[in-house]
Every structure is written in C-alpha cells, then in structure tokens.
Structure 1
Amino acid sequence: MGFFRNNHTVQSIALLMIAIVSVQASASLAKILFASFPVLSISALRLFLGFALLAVFFQIWRVAWQQIRWVSILGYGLALAGMNALFYLSLNRLPLGIAVSFEFIGPLSVALLHAKHRYDLIWVGLAIVGLLLLFPWNQTQQALDPVGIFLAIGAGACWAVYILTGNRPSGISGNHTVCLGMLIGSCVLLPIALWIGTPIKVLELPYLLYFIGLAFLASALPFSLEMVALRHLSPLLFGTLTSLEPAFAALSGALFLSEHLLWTQWFALATIMTASIGCTFTTQLGKQKIEQQLNSLKQNQA
C-alpha cells in the first residue's frame, strides 16, 4: 500500500478521474438544455456561474493582485472560453462520445509532443486505436456532421492550450487562477450570449437550479480538481489520462441520452482505459525507479 500512500501523483490521478466523470455527466445535462436555450448562452452561463461559486468558496477578494502574471491568466481564460463554447457547439451536432473523441485530438497531441520513452508511444498509440474504433465507420446512415467535427477539433486545440497554460506559474494559487480564468472566459462569452438573445427564463425555477448544477459539475468542480492535478502530473501523463474522456462520454450518452454505440465502440472503451491505466503505472514506476537511483547515489556519496 506504500505505493499509494502519501503519493501526490496517485492522489492527483484520483482527482482527475473525479473531474472527468463530473464533466461528462454535466455534458448530458447541457445537451438536454440545448432544446430550450441557445448553445452559447448555456456555455457563457456555465462559466459565469462557475466563477461565482468558486469566487465565494475560495474568497477571490483575498487574491494577491500585485503578484498576478496576467499573460498566463489571460491565456488560460481564453482557452477555457474557446474550449467550452466550441465543444458545446459541436455537441449540438454530434453524439456525445463522438464529439469528445474528436476533441481529444488536442490533449493527445500534447501527449505525443512530450513522449520520451518507447512505453509512452505504446500507450498513446493504443489510445489512438481506441479513438479510431469509437468512430462509426461502418454506419453510413449516421453520417457525421462536418461542421460538428470541425468545431470539436477546434475545442481540442483549445484543450491543448488549456493544459499547457495550466502548467505555467500564474503568481497566485491554483484555485484563484481557476476563478480568474473562468471570469475572463465568461467575459468573452457573455456579450455574445446577450447579443444572440438569452431568454429571461434562465432565471426561473427549475432552470436556474439546472444552470447552477451545470456550473458546479461542468466548471467549478472539475476545473478546480484539474488545476490541482496539473501541479503534480506531467503534460504527458495528464494528456494520456484524459483519453478516458471519450469513454466516459460514450457511457454518459448511452445512460442519459439513449445514444447507443456499436460493439466496436464498446471495445474501444476498454482499449482507451487500458492505455490510460498502462500510462499511469509505467510513468509511476519510472518515477519511483529514478527516485531510488537518486537515493542510492546520495547514500554512496555520503
């Protein structure tokens, strides 16, 4: 049990898994709301209400404003805005699991850029195979919307920027970084939402409760957990572990939206999960081996 006890990497992986489940469950709720509200309005309100929840919880007024590195915060906030808006727009045109599969091209590219060992390439390659199996190649009657695919890939590009900017020091705590990033993202999207016309019924019950729940599950909780995880996980490990996103998305779509999958796509879920678990343990074992070698070297020098 010593492998897991007091281990920041393993704890960060657990937080990342909770964030993934939260995001994909919320995506099903968002897709249900698409029938009643403009997509960009849902995306903007998700970020703004998420910011409001975190601002109170983490006491944003205590932030050390003079220490903020605004370039990092702005990049993070713009990435959040693009990732959220483009993903919801693609989700309006594609099944949940398929949209996330295309979006995952972004973090997968980050993983490939940081791959250094042959095991890294094996796990990333296995994740690619799983993603290919998720696509309905042999169901021509369910043609994929090309605009939806383009939007999902754009969301993936923003996701890659989100990973990279989340790793940069912002001068303040990770929690306050998430708060300010979500504020910047909502400031970008809210004017667009107001321009296209946001129905006043968003303030009525039960819709307001739905939006608050969406903000918590889709933004406040997962972004906070991911920020903690990014502090202790390498871009390679974070990028490959997020290959679980399409798997959980497909399961969420099947459970809540009746978006049924082919048997090849169910097989893809197992393939992707195998890649994620393999990447986790080989990276962790490699880290332990390096630490043991350093400890042995210190003992020899002493």
Structure 2
Amino acid sequence: MSLTERIPRRHRGTTALIAVLIGSTGIQTTSAVATTLFEKFSPVSVSGLRMTTAAVVLLLIARPKFWRFTRRDWLSVVSYGVVSSLMNVFFYLAVDRIPLGVAVTIEYLGAFAVAMFGVRKFKDGLFAVGALAGVVLIAGPTFGSTDLLGYVFAVMAAASMTGYTLLSGKIGSGTEATAGIRGLSVSIAIGAIMWSPATALALPHMTVGDWGIAVFIGAVGLALAFSCDAFAATMTNPAVVGVFFSLDPVVSSLVGLALLGELLSASAYIGIALIVLSGAAVTWRANRSAAVITTHTEALQVIRTAQMPQTPRE
C-alpha cells in the first residue's frame, strides 16, 4: 500500500497543504541563497548546478530501475523533466532582472490558470480569484521595473508552471517503476542533462563554498520541494494544488522578513490574509468532498454486501 493510500481521504486536503508549505519554504529560502551565486555565474549555470545536485541526491535515494519504465512512464518523466527545468531556468533569469516579488507573482499566474481551469463551482472560482488578489497585493509595491526582458522570462516561467502543476500529480502515480520519487529522480536528471553545457562552464570556477550553496539549493530547494509538490498533487487534484501554490508569495515575504529584515506594507499583510483565507477554504472544501466520497463509497459497499447471496448453512 502506497503512502497516499494510507492517508484517509478526509485528511488528504490538509496533508497536501502541509506538503506544499514545506516545499514552498524550501524553494523561497534557497532562492534567496541562490542569488549570491549570480555575481559569479549566470542564472542558467546556477539553475543547472541546482538541478545537477538535486538529481544526484534523488537518484542516490530512489535508485530507480529505469530499464523497467514503460513508454508511458518515459513520456511522463521526460515531459515533467523538460517543463520543470524550463520553469527553473526562466524563473532565475527573471529574478536576475526584476524584483523577486514581481517574478513570483507572474510565475504564479501559471498555477492560477490551472486552478481556474479546474473550477466546477462558482465558489471555487472566487477562492482562486481571492488568492490571486492576495498575491497581487503582496507584490504590488514592488512593481516598477522597466526591464521588459525580465517580464518576458517571468511569463515564460508562468507558462512552464502551468505544465508543472498539471504534471506533478502524474509523476509519482504511474507504474511501480516510477512510483514515489523514482520517476521524479529521473525527470530531474533529464533536466540536469538539458542544461549541462551551462553547468560545465561554472565547474572550473567553483569553490568549496560555492559547492556548499549548490548542494543546499539543490537538495532543499528542488529535491525536497519538488517531492513535496508531487506528493501534494497525488493527495488531491491540480486545481486545488494550483490554489495552494499561491502560498509561495506569502512564504517569500515571511522569509524576507525573517532573514533579510524586510518589512512589509499594510497591503501586503492584507494580501497574506486573503491567501490564507482562500487556502483554508479550499482545504476545507477538499477535505469535505473527500469525506463525502468516502461515506458514499462505504455506503455502496454495505449495500452490495447486503445484496450478495448468502451461502446456506449445511
């Protein structure tokens, strides 16, 4: 029995939220650390180093038997590897040119699109819009950069995040060969290979300190964070996870306050409140829906059992 199956349906929404929070904390913390390498290396090289160290960590832990992958498995891991690596590279290119808050906000539009595509009820759409409004309020005061290319990179990161959000649930729920983090480890390795030329340019100039940062941002900001995102997607659906990803700007703001002493504006705190309320509402509805499904399934099992012909006693 997989870890997903061991968690009761009524608790899976909360579990997914916690997983996204852990992943978001890892991503935002390591993003602040990764910018220190931009003075020596290009954002593409830093992203390549991040994926390479993450791939090594994941492959050592998962030890996937890729020769057992089916054609569908390979399609899944390659698609996820390409999309996630593009999202990383475009995001780092954007952060190098425009404020972090702006880059995070624009990138979130990709997850927001998935959340809106998955809307089945008007209330769910309102929660997604509420989360988006919160993100805009957090990043609003930072808008003002005139670097058009930075905005282009951020939009491309958002487009990649759309695919990332949709594929996260499939990467850990395929066949036994790709279950857990096995498929994820191969996907990240594929992404690392894609950008290996840029990584190779940085290697001759790496110091012990640089390697320490590379391992940290790879292990925590990618291996751990992406594993949490993939797990969260198996707990619920891409639309719900898309709303949960709105927590990224919240976590980014809190990390900035804790590590950099950056005070937030009043509108930013209102935005945080909006996102927290929207996320709480979505979590509650996800748990409630799961509980209803569980109750319905159990009722059907009782009815079927009652309708089964009884074996007469001898």
> Structure 2-normalised TM-score?
0.85
On the 8 A contact 2:34/2:46 being kept in 1, the answer is: yes
Aligned to 1:84: 88
CA distance in 2, matches of 1:135, 1:9: 27
Compared CA separation, residues 147 and 289, structure 1 to 2 (3 A): same
Aligned to 2:245: 242
Equivalent in 111, 132, 137 of residue 133 of structure 1: 137
Instruction: Read off the aligned partner of 2:259 and give its amino acid letter.
Output: F
Identity %: 23
Instruction: Read off the aligned partner of 2:217 and give its amino acid letter.
Output: L
CA distance in 1, matches of 2:86, 2:263: 28
CA-to-aligned-CA distance 1:243-270 (integer Å, 9 cap, x gap):
1011111222343345554321222122
Compared CA separation, residues 70 and 220, structure 1 to 2 (3 A): same
CA distance in 1, matches of 2:70, 2:139: 46
Instruction: Read off the aligned partner of 2:181 and give its amino acid letter.
Output: N
Structure 2 counterpart SS, 1:116: coil
CA distance in 1, matches of 2:265, 2:40: 29
Instruction: Read off the aligned partner of 1:284 and give its amino acid letter.
Output: N
The Cα of 1:242 is off from its aligned counterpart by 0.7
Aligned to 1:263: 266
CA-to-aligned-CA distance 1:212-248 (integer Å, 9 cap, x gap):
1111111111111222222122111111011101111
On the 8 A contact 2:12/2:287 being kept in 1, the answer is: no
| Structure 2 gap ranges (5+) | 1-6, 307-314
On the 8 A contact 1:74/1:181 being kept in 2, the answer is: yes
Aligned to 1:252: 255
Aligned to 1:24: 28
Aligned to 1:147: 149
Equivalent in 69, 75, 92 of residue 71 of structure 1: 75
The Cα of 1:25 is off from its aligned counterpart by 0.6
CA distance in 2, matches of 1:92, 1:39: 7
Structure (1 or 2) with the larger CA radius of gyration: 2
Instruction: Read off the aligned partner of 2:187 and give its amino acid letter.
Output: G
Aligned to 1:186: 192
| Structure 1 gap ranges (5+) | none
On the 8 A contact 2:137/2:267 being kept in 1, the answer is: yes
CA distance in 1, matches of 2:203, 2:269: 39
CA distance in 2, matches of 1:293, 1:170: 26
The Cα of 1:115 is off from its aligned counterpart by 0.7
Task: Provide the alpha-carbon RMSD of the alignment.
Answer: 2.2
On the 8 A contact 1:12/1:233 being kept in 2, the answer is: yes
The Cα of 1:283 is off from its aligned counterpart by 1.8
The Cα of 1:131 is off from its aligned counterpart by 2.2
How many residue pairs were aligned?
292
Aligned to 1:233: 236
On the 8 A contact 1:98/1:134 being kept in 2, the answer is: no
Structure 2 counterpart SS, 1:136: helix
